[in-house]
Amino acid sequence: MRTLPECKEYFKDVHTSLLISTDILKQPLTESELEKYTAIKQSDEARYNMFCEALSFIYRKDFDIVKNVWLQESLNEHYSNLKAQ
């Protein structure tokens, strides 16, 4: 089993995928695109929630302590990448 710090990059990848799918849905889309990206966002949300639940179950309070820090780092990276584009 991985240690909690080893889970950080995957957590950030999962969270970033969710941010990207959310950003896409904020743009004007055709009906078929909207349907496609809504399904992708729902899948990303489920993956994120399931991973967080698993980490909470395994690591308990240790995960609760680092989760907000990891979220902020993920947000910072995502939005700094958007600015760079």
**Grouped pLDDT means (10 residues each) for the chain, 85 residues:** 94 96 96 97 98 97 96 95 85
- Rounded to two decimals, the pTM is 0.90
In whole angstroms, give the CA distance from residue 48 to residue 42. 10
The helix (H) or strand (E) run that includes residue 67 is helix 61-84
Sign of CA dihedral 55, 57, 62, 67: positive
CA-wise closest residue to 8 among 61, 52, 46, 39: 52
Cβ–Cβ < 8 Å for 68, 9: no
